[in-house]
Amino acid sequence: MCPPIVPVSSSLLLSMSFAAGTFSAGASANPLHLMLATVDNGVPNNPLPLIIYPRVGLHEVEEGEEEDIAGWFEKTFAQHHWTPRWRYPIHPYTHYHPNTHELLGVGAGWAEVLFGGDNGRMVTLRAGDAVLIPAGVGHKQVAASEDFFCVGAYPNQMEPETLRDDKSLLERSQERISHVPLPENDPLTGGEGALTHFWHPVAQH
């Protein structure tokens, strides 16, 4: 049995890692979080939880209009100071970014994505879902529909560095991750939201 997924309305962050298994981001209309704080081989991960915004891109456009979904993500991300940089699937190998957080909006299709390294958590993402990946959290695309792609964005026009699962880089990456700035506002609302609910309390400890 998979452990429960905690909605944004929860007042208490659970300091735990989720057991292996796949869950669908579309199972709830509320933002969800996954704690992926534990180092996994050469993947540093991060005490800040991964945040999933299910079907948020479908709230503004008609389902099935994939180009409008991607365009809505690009417009919304840019409005809230997350610069859209690409439209593409996710790399099919475990990687992470030690110098910046990453924001993905699924423009079309579906994919199973493994977050946190080989011992992390598989998540099924679908068109309209958005994912906020903390710096250092590993991710790779395991399976996907032919039409799957994401809009990728980064705060303050950051240029992401991409590293693979390599233990020799771990100590230096952890030090760099500790200096990545904490965003003040949620990238989907531009103000209070899942980021301020989930990230700010963790960062204050």
In a domain, 3, yes or no: no
d(CA 68, CA 54): 17
Task: Name the average pLDDT for the chain.
Answer: 86
- Distance in angstroms (rounded) separating the CA atoms of residues 101 and 180: 8
Q: Is residue 4 part of a domain?
A: no
Q: What is the pLDDT of residues 105-138, one digit of tens each?
A: 999 999 999 999 999 999 999 999 999 999 999 9
Distance CA 134, CA 151 (A): 16
Classify residue 76: in a domain, yes or no: yes
pLDDT of residue 7: 36
Instruction: With a cut of 60, say whether residue 28 has pLDDT above it.
Output: no
Asked, for residue 109, whether it belongs to a domain, the answer is yes
Q: What is the pTM of this model?
A: 0.85
Residues with Cβ < 8 Å from 185, sequence gap 6 or more?
80, 191, 192, 193, 195, 196
| Residue numbers of the domain that contains 156 | 20-200
Residues 6+ apart with CB under 8 A from 101: 132, 133, 134, 135, 154, 155, 180, 183
Per-residue pLDDT tens digits for 36-88: 999 999 999 999 999 999 999 876 665 555 558 999 999 999 999 999 999 99
The predicted pLDDT at position 57 comes to 85
Instruction: Tell me whether residue 6 is in a domain.
Output: no
Whether residue 124 lies inside any domain: the answer is yes
- Higher pLDDT: 66 or 178? It is 178
Is residue 9 one of the residues assigned to a domain?
no
Q: For the domain that residue 94 is a member of, what is the CATH number?
A: 2.60.120
Q: Would you say residue 146 lies in a domain?
A: yes
| Count of structural domains, the chain | 1
